[in-house]
Amino acid sequence: MIRTPIAAACAAVACLAAAPATAADYPTKLIRIVVGFPAGGPSDVPARLIAERLKTSLGQPVIVENKPGAAGMIAANDMLSQPRDGYTLLLCSYIDPINTLLYKQVSYKVEDLAPVTLVQKAYYAFTASSALPVESLADFVRYAKARPGELNYGRVGAGSVTEVLAKQFEKLAGISMTGVTFKGTGPAIQEVVAGRIHFMVGPLAVTMPLYQARKVKVLGMTSPERLPIAPEVPTLAEQGLPIVNYGWWGMCARSGVPQPVIEVLNRHIVAAIATPEYRSVIEKLGVIPVSSTPEEFGRVMADTVKEAAVMFRELGIERIE
């Protein structure tokens, strides 16, 4: 094809326009942070806190968009459909790499996610409806054994920690419950409050305010020791259930975003996490603020996939069409 000088010039301009940002000119416009779960949940809170700090430190608007559904894959696909320029980010979690193991038709690979930094980690509370006549984990086990399959538990997508830990509990305690899927932990825990769901493995960010208001019962924690937010609640291990587990959340970009841009984002987000304001809000929710290098976060992602693959085999969790 013969190209005229004008056509060649236009093509060059188009290439420049499509070229990814570098650290020297990033950012120059609005940044989106996409969250795969509803507002108010453990993914939403850090995203909004970080967005507020980035507005100031980067000097550009930063907005948070909640796109719940499909175990976070709607939000992940949104981010991955955008240019590789660092202007659309994902508040990612352990669920995102796990989805690549769980769903046969998942449209991305772990390698498509570019880790920027971890932002928090959290242990989980074994939570029961206040309507149940139980006061301890042992009470709940006895109650469930007398009603096999009759009790419901809330989960956020198949293969999520909310399901995997519930299935571990069933296996170790010799009980049987029925899983009910929700778009987020917020809607699920409200059903526990209402008594329509009997049990849930809940992130502390959504569980503890309701526990403190005596709207739900907390039977045990997945932490290795008792937590300052609820020192009266024993760990699962103390009660003879050998489960210690936590979930992580981080900030991800699309693979192919220039490394200098990743480094700019890492520096500013790590600084946001280090602020007293961020740490105060997060710690009051019973969540642990953490940050990392992109490389450290990448290793956490890889380990998550390896550990989940083993767990799925042990619990008989099969891939979903």
Q: Quote the number of domains for the chain.
A: 2
Structure tokens at 274: 């280090």
Q: Read off the DSSP letter of residue 40.
A: T
User: What is 239-305 written as a DSSP string?
Assistant: GT-----EEEEEEEEETTS-HHHHHHHHHHHHHHHTSHHHHHHHHHTT-EE----HHHHHHHHHHHH
Q: Judge if 148 and 287 occupy the same domain.
A: no
pLDDT at 141: 98
In this structure, is residue 3 part of a structural domain? no
Domain of 230: which CATH number? 3.40.190.10
Q: Judge if 64 and 34 occupy the same domain.
A: yes
pLDDT at 8: 38
Structure tokens at 206: 């959504």
Reading the chain (321 residues) residue by residue, the pLDDT tens digits are: 333 333 434 433 433 344 444 567 899 999 999 999 988 888 999 999 999 999 999 999 999 999 998 889 999 999 999 999 999 999 999 999 999 998 888 999 999 999 999 999 999 999 999 999 999 999 999 999 999 999 999 998 777 888 999 999 999 999 999 999 998 888 999 999 999 999 999 988 889 999 999 999 999 999 999 998 999 999 999 999 999 998 899 999 999 999 999 999 999 999 999 999 999 999 888 889 999 999 999 999 999 999 999 988 988 888 887
pTM, 2 dp:
0.80
> End of a domain among 239, 263, 296?
239
**Structural domain harbouring 35:** 24-121+247-315
In this structure, is residue 10 part of a structural domain? no
In this structure, is residue 7 part of a structural domain? no
Beta partners for residue 248, in sequence order:
121
* Burial bucket for residue 24 (CB in 10 Å: 0-12, 13-18, 19+): exposed
In this structure, is residue 95 part of a structural domain? yes
Q: Provide CB contacts within 8 A for 15, sequence distance 6+.
A: none
